[in-house]
Chains A and B, each alone.
Chain A
C-alpha cells in the first residue's frame, strides 16, 4: 500500500530549503519562549543560549542539527494486537480520527449535547471496527469525570474498546503519568510498555513561538519514559502566524523543530513525531477555518519539511467548518485528506469524526470518513501494471465484441482492482426509490447502529475480566469499567 509515495509536493525542493532556512533564522535570532525555569536550566546545561529575563531560548544551527540528528527517522506505533502496528518512516500513511471535542451532534434529530465518557467508549468501538481508521485518538472530553482523572478514564475506556494504537492530547503531566501507570499494568510492566508502547501523547506549543510549562513537562516525561510524543504546532495564518502560507510554514516549522530538539535533550533517541496543524482565519469576518484549501496545502508542505530531517510526521486533514455531514463537509474533508495522504504523511490526524472546526463530532461522520479514507487509500495504492493486469491474454480470448464478466481473469483480479464503498449509493434510480431513498448519511446511521448494538451484546470489553478486576483494584478513580 502506498509504495509510490509521495506524489504531491506543493513546494519545489529549493522552496522547501528556503522555508527551512527561514525557520532556522527564527530559532537562532528570535528564539522560543519557554515558560518554565527548571526546563530552561536543563536546556542551558545542554548547551542552549538562554535569556532568563525573557524566558527565551535561542538555537545555534550546529547545536540544533546535533539535537535533531538524535531523533529517530523510523519507529513503530504499537498496538495491543500486532496486526494493527503502525510503522512510521516507511512510506505508509496511517489515518486516525480527531480528538478532544466538547460537543456531539445527534444526526437523527439534529440535537446536540456535551460529550461524556460513554462517547469515548463508543467512538473507540467505531474506530476499532472501521478498517480504514488505523488508530484511535481520544475523541472528546468526558464531562462526567472529575478533572483530576479524566485522562486516566479516557484512556482506560479507549483501551477497553479498541486494540488499535491509542493517542491522546493531554494537558498536564500528572494525567500522562496516570495513563502511563495504567498502560504499564496492562502491558505487564514498565519495561514491556517501553519496548512496545501502545499509546502516545499529543501536546502543543502556543503559536507564536511559545512552549508553556505543561507542554514542556509532558515532553520531558514522555521522552524519559519512552512514550512516543508529538508537540504539534497549530498556527492560525492571519491570527497567530503570518497571513502568508510561507510565513506560517516557517514559523510552524521553527516551533516544531524546537519541540523535537527539546525531547532529544531529555532523552537522546526519544520517539517523537513532527506535529503539524496549520490552519487559517477567514479575514473577512475573523472566522476560524480549518477546512480551507490552504490548510491542506500547508499540511502537505509540512510533510516535505519534516522529510528534510527524516522525521516521521503527524499531519492533519479531513477537517471542516460544517456543522453536519453534508456537501461542505464532504468536499472539505476529501480535498485535504487526499492532498495530505498524497504528500506521504506518516500519520494523518483529525481525519475522522470531526465537524464544526474541531468542536464537535457525530458518530455517523466516523463511518462516512472511513469511506472517504478508503477511497484515498485506493488512490494511494495506484494502478498496478504488470503482465496480468495488462490483460493481453484475456483481451485476445474475448476478442472484438465479447464481454469480460465471466472471465476467470475478472474473478482473479476484481477484488484488488476496485475499492468497494459501503455507504455510497450505487443502485439505480428505481431500486433507490424502492429502498426508501437512502443516502450516504442514512446508511452511515444504519452502520453505526449495527456496530454499537453488536458491541453492546459483547460482555466485558477487550481488556478481559481478569485485567479489568485488576484495574478496578489498582485505580479506584476509574468509573464505568
Chain B
C-alpha cells in the first residue's frame, strides 16, 4: 500500500526533484495516475493551503509547493485518458505599454500558475498590437493587464479597444490590476474583472471561467 508520505512531504517542502522521483516511483510500483493525483498531490496541496491560511507558511513556500505540484501533474498528464487535466485555463498576461513595473504582475502569474492556470507572460512595456498578435497565437481564456503608473492606465483602455477592433474581445475575459487601478476603472474601460492583489486575482480568474 502506498501512502504517498514521501511525495506529500516533498510537495509540502516544495522539493521539486524528490517529488518528481516519487511520482515516477509510484507509477513504476503500479499506482494509477488518478490515485497519485488525488491521494498524493491534491491531499498534499490541501495541507499546504491549510498551513498558508493559518499563517504557518509564507507565500514563497506556498508558491514553491504549487510549482512542484504543477510539474508532477505535467509528468502524470500522459497517463490520463480524458483530455487536459493540468490546466484550468490559459492566461495571457503583461504590463501595458510605457510601464516597466513587473513585480505585481509576476506575483499574479505565479499565483495563477500555482492554481493550475497555464501562463503566457509577455513581460513589460507591451503595446496593444502585441497583445492582439499574441491573443491570436495563444488563444487565451483570460487576458491579464497590469499597470503601476496612473499615466499608463490609459494604455489598458487602448489595449482593450485594440482587441475589440481585431474582433477578439468576445473570445476572452479581461482582468486588470495594479496599485492605481480600481474596480470602477475596470468597469469604465469595459474590462471584465479587477483584483486588488494576487490572492484575489486567482479567485476572480476562476469566477470568470466559472470554475472553483
Contacts and interface: CB of A to CB of B under 8 A. Distances in A.
Interface of A: 102-103, 114, 141, 143, 147, 206, 212, 236, 238-240, 283-286, 359
Interface in B147-205: 149-151, 179-180, 197-199
B198 A206 contact: no
A239 B100 CA distance: 15
A286 B59 contact: yes
Q: Indicate the size class of the contact surface on chain B.
A: 10 to 19
Contact of B150 (A102, A238, A240, A286): A102
Given A283-B58, A286-B107, A114 B100 contact: no
A232 B59 CA distance: 28
Contacts of B58: 283-285
B75 interface: no
Contacts of A285: 58-59, 199
A141 B151 contact: yes
Given A102-B180, A283-B59, A284-B59, A143 B103 contact: no
A239 B59 contact: no
A359 B179 contact: yes
Interface in B7-64: 55, 58-60
Contacts of B100: 206, 212
Contacts of B180: 102-103, 359
B151 A147 contact: yes
Nearest to A212: B100
A102 B180 CA distance: 7
Contact of A284 (B55, B103, B151, B197): B55
A137 B103 CA distance: 25
7 contacts: A114-B150, A143-B150, A143-B151, A283-B60, A285-B59, A286-B59, A286-B198
Interface string B58-73: 1110000000000000
A114 B184 CA distance: 14
A283 B61 CA distance: 9
Given A102-B180, A285-B199, 8 more contacts: A114-B150, A283-B58, A283-B60, A284-B55, A284-B59, A285-B58, A359-B179, A359-B180
A114 B151 CA distance: 11
A114 B198 CA distance: 24
Among all A-B residue pairs, the 4 with the closest Cβ atoms: A102-B150, A283-B58, A286-B59, A284-B58
B14 to A, nearest CB: 14
A104 to B, nearest CB: 12
Interface of B: 55, 58-60, 100, 103, 107, 149-151, 179-180, 197-199
A133 B169 CA distance: 50
A239 B180 CA distance: 20
A286 B52 CA distance: 12
A240 B179 contact: no
Contacts of B150: 102, 114, 141, 143
Contacts of A143: 150-151
A453 B180 CA distance: 30
A239 B103 contact: yes
A236 B179 CA distance: 16
B151 A240 contact: no
Contacts of A102: 149-150, 180
Contact of B103 (A147, A212, A236): A236
A147 to B, nearest CB: 6
Contacts of A236: 103
A343 B176 CA distance: 42
A169 B55 CA distance: 38
B162 to A, nearest CB: 19
A455 to B, nearest CB: 26
Contacts of B151: 141, 143, 147
A114 B179 CA distance: 13
Contacts of B149: 102
B88 to A, nearest CB: 21
A240 B103 contact: yes
Nearest to B152: A147
Contacts of A283: 58-60
Nearest to A287: B197
Nearest to A207: B103
A255 to B, nearest CB: 15
Contacts of B198: 286
Contacts of B59: 283-286
A206 B123 CA distance: 14
Nearest to A243: B60
Nearest to B124: A206
Contacts of A238: 60
Contacts of A103: 180
A464 B100 CA distance: 39
Contacts of A284: 55, 58-59
> Which of B58, B149, B150 has the most C-beta atoms of chain A within 10 angstroms of its own C-beta?
B150
